[in-house]
């Protein structure tokens, strides 16, 4: 019986999440209320609050699951990349791909300016906490690559993770500026910038220059 109850709870949680995202798509995040979400999900408002503390929490939980999926899948395939840039571009592709799976471009277009500049929707502080967790995960991936000898031993992996994550937010903002995001153009730009970050702008001299 307990297994059936847990299954029913999970189905109800998913129904609430789907109802919320459908409403967010139709009328925007700010205009959607818990009462509306409850009506579409076929439950009462207190039931929604039983599963989620707020509509912001619905968004954040979905994003957290998407981020964890991306990091898990990155680690699963990390060893097959000999070039660190390939590995990092693959990670960014997964993060963006899963993010767009859970929230469509128009919704990101509404939320990202609030996230990046602050606001009164309740998202900024909660999102910063979520992003801090993702930043830790990215740092750990970089550290694993560093320990495997794929990155410089003296690389500040925390700073590198911060730069990559910060840049990713700006690129996501650009990507979602269109209703139909151009993922190929986005991937090309990310690869060029990521390679620049990791190869640097220092001029090589002597024998090293001849090799490049």
Distance CA 17, CA 34 (A): 11
pLDDT tens digits along 116-154: 776 656 677 778 888 899 999 999 999 999 998 888 899
* Domain assignment of residue 96, yes or no: yes
Report, as an integer, the average pLDDT of 144-169: 90
Angle among Cα 35, 112, 15 to the nearest 5 degrees reads 35
Please give the pLDDT value at position 41. 94
pLDDT at residue 205 greater than cutoff 70 = no
Tell me which residue range forms the domain holding 17. Answer: 1-53
Query: Considering the domain boundaries, does residue 212 fall inside one?
Result: no
More confident residue, 3 or 12: 12
3-state SS class at 12: helix
Helix axis angle for 2-27 and 55-77, nearest 10°, is 110
Q: Is residue 209 part of a domain?
A: no
- CA pair distance 98, 102, nearest whole angstrom: 7
pLDDT tens digit sequence for 56-76: 889 888 888 999 999 999 999
> Domain count of the chain?
2
């Amino acid at each position: 019986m307990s297994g059936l109850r847990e299954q029913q709870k999970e189905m109800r949680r998913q129904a609430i999440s789907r109802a919320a995202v459908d409403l967010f798509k139709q009328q925007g995040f700010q205009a959607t209320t818990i009462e509306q979400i409850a009506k579409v999900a076929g439950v009462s408002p207190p039931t929604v609050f039983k599963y989620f503390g707020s509509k912001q929490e619905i968004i954040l939980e979905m994003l957290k699951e998407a981020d964890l999926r991306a990091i898990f899948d990155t680690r699963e395939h990390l060893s097959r990349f000999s070039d660190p840039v390939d590995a990092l571009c693959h990670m960014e592709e997964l993060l963006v791909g899963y993010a767009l799976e859970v929230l469509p471009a128009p919704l990101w277009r509404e939320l990202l300016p609030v996230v990046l500049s602050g606001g009164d929707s309740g998202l900024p502080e909660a999102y910063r906490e979520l992003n801090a967790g993702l930043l830790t995960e990215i740092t750990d991936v970089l550290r694993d690559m560093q320990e495997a000898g794929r990155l410089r031993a003296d690389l500040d992996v925390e700073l590198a993770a911060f730069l990559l994550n910060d840049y990713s937010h700006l690129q996501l903002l650009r990507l979602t500026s269109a209703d139909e995001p151009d993922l190929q153009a986005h991937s090309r730009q990310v690869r060029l910038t990521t390679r620049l970050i990791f190869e640097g702008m220092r001029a090589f001299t002597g024998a090293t220059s001849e090799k490049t």
